[in-house]
Structure 1
Amino acid sequence: MSAHEEAAIRRQIEKVVEGLRAKDLEALREPYATDVVSFDVEPPLQHVGIGAKLANWARVFEVFETVDYELRDLALTMGGDVAFGHAFGRLSGTMKNGVATVGMWVRVTYGLRKIDGTWRIAHDQVSVPLDILSGTGMVDLEP
């Protein structure tokens, strides 16, 4: 992967972080493909299209007064007009009821396509490890 292409991909993912911190749905629209498929931690199993993706973020903004998002250890691989990346992410902030939360670390995977010369997130997946015996998500782990 060329340094220029890697920087362009990292910039698109950084736009997600900036859009979340600003609680700006229009800023969040830009880095995603219009036909993005998202496997988020919230039901249903998949959210299809930019409208569904933005609706997920809108629900976050309804609950949080202030939002912070931290992304750690982003690793990227690219070939031609497709790329993927994985990282750890944590959404935190102050909820509308005044309670501050440090959030939980999740595993994030990005699938990107170069569309009309611009890298767009075409797929993302957010998950937490599962304790198979109890069926409970393990939300207290840290990278």
Structure 2
Amino acid sequence: MPTQREVDEAALAQQVDKIIEGVRARDIEALKRCYATDVVSFDVEPPLQHVGVDAKMRNWAKVFTFFTEVTYELRELTLTVGDEVAFGHGFGRLRGTLQNGTATNGMWVRVTFCYRKIDGTWLITHDQASVPFDMSTGRGVADLEP
């Protein structure tokens, strides 16, 4: 019989898969079910923070305006699970076909997901995507790979 920790780890892995599948399907409603209503997102795009699930969904919707086909890939995702709170970190990349027909491999960013178990379901309450930058130029470094 699995332990509660093993059950929670499996549930979190399923939530991550739902994000990947939701992006591939361009399904805003499926993505929305992965986030808490009061999620705070520090995304790569301005402003500094996006507060609330509707703001987060506007960001995903914007992604879908750039791509006709899109996939989201996560690598080296490490999860740390507590009873009611969990977090994960790794590397994420959006890639696909842009509206103009150009295929792009995108760029790798650092990602962090913070989860809270709400009514028995693990939901993202905070996420962050960041791009490393060259301190001497102040410019993002977009050609790094995990």
1:43 equivalent to 2:63? Answer no
SS at match of 2:46: coil
Fraction of identical pairs, as percent: 64
Q: In the alignment, is residue 116 of structure 1 matched against residue 110 of structure 2? A: no
The partner residue of 2:129 within 123, 126, 129 is 126
Amino acid at match of 2:96: G
- Which amino acid in the other structure matches residue 64 of structure 2? F
Q: Which residue of 1 aligns with 2:98?
A: 95
User: How high is the TM-score relative to the length of structure 1?
Assistant: 0.98
Displacement after TM superposition at 1:90 (Å) = 0.6
Q: TM-score, normalization: structure 2?
A: 0.96
Matched, 1:79 2:108: no
Alignment of 1:16-31 (within 5 A): 16-31=19-34
Q: Distance in 2 between matches of 1:92 and 1:121?
A: 22
CA distance in 2 between partners of 1:48 and 1:14 (Å) = 23
Q: Distance in 1 between matches of 2:39 and 2:119?
A: 15
| 2:92 matches 1:64 | no
Measured after TM superposition, the shift of residue 12 of structure 1 is: 0.8
Q: CA deviation at 1:78?
A: 1.5
Which whole-Å CA distance do the structure 2 matches of 1:130 and 1:79 have between them? Answer: 32
- Matches of 1:100 and 1:123 in 2, distance apart? 30
For residues 37 and 21 of structure 1, the distance between their equivalents in structure 2, rounded to whole angstroms, comes to 23
- The letter of the residue matching 2:10 is A
What does the per-residue CA deviation read over 1:94-127, in whole Å, with 9 as the maximum and x for residues that have no partner? 0011011000000000000000010000000000
Unpaired runs of 5+ residues, structure 2, are none
Taking the aligned partners of 1:15 and 1:48, their CA distance within structure 2 comes to 21
User: What secondary structure does 1:141 align onto?
Assistant: coil
